[in-house]
Amino acid sequence: MGTPRDTPRYTVVTPSRGDRPRALGQALDSVQAAADQAGVCVEMLVGFDGAHGERVRDYPFIRYVDFPFEGNFGNGIRDAFVKVARGARLLFVDDDNAVAPDAFSIWERCPETELVIGRIDVSRAFPDVGLLPRTGQDSPDTVIRQGNVDPLCLCVAKDLVIRAGGWRGEGGYESDFLNIRRYHRRARSAAVIDDVVGIYDAGAGLDSEGMNPRQKKSAGI
């Protein structure tokens, strides 16, 4: 895992509203376990949007920051962390998601590819879908489309994100897709892999007060 003095290979960026402490703890645990399994050094930047969020874990690789309220789907937090990330490669893991146990081992297979897209388990949120992206053909050109790819799918070079203008907030809720599409267009190399690298909505239901409208609907609330 490394210590705070080590230069991390990966920076995991996590925006949070501060109302999902149990889910956040699970996300942090998943990163630690996957990094330990792969033997890589990571840092995790957790940003709370307008809240003094609970510091649910004290792992030395985590930095917590309380941001002024923005309410823009974590876009400003992501952009701020991209600028200060020490890792050469970036992951985007929301506080109610988790990385797969072998996620970093999978990413290590593509060390020089600027944009790598893995699959994520979305069955907790969309049982009829199962996995995203729906790959069809093994090409980023056919994979990167609205509703088919999520930031949790990505391992992206920091240099590419900076070159492409950081993480922009245009489009509000649609900004995830717009940023991913922009990175793909600016990438010097890109790949789609079939391995499952994350679990979407892994923490849904752990914090009843932190459920979003879709999660409440799925839970019958």
Q: pTM of the predicted model, to two decimals?
A: 0.92
pLDDT number for residue 212: 72
Q: How far apart are CA 200 and CA 148, in angstroms?
A: 13
The two three-digit tokens of residue 9, written as one number: 């290979």
Beta strands in 102-211 (DSSP E): 115-121, 131-132, 154-157, 190-199
In tens digits, the chain (221 residues) has pLDDT values of 554 558 999 999 999 999 999 999 999 999 999 999 999 999 999 999 999 999 999 999 999 999 999 999 999 999 999 999 999 999 999 999 999 999 999 999 999 999 999 999 999 999 999 999 987 655 667 899 999 999 999 999 999 999 999 999 988 888 999 999 999 999 999 999 999 999 999 999 899 886 676 676 666 66
Q: Which CATH superfamily is domain 10-218 in?
A: Spore Coat Polysaccharide Biosynthesis Protein SpsA; Chain A (3.90.550.10)
| Per-residue model confidence as pLDDT tens digits over 175-211 | 999 999 999 999 999 999 999 999 999 999 899 886 6
Q: How far apart are CA 108 and CA 135, in angstroms?
A: 21
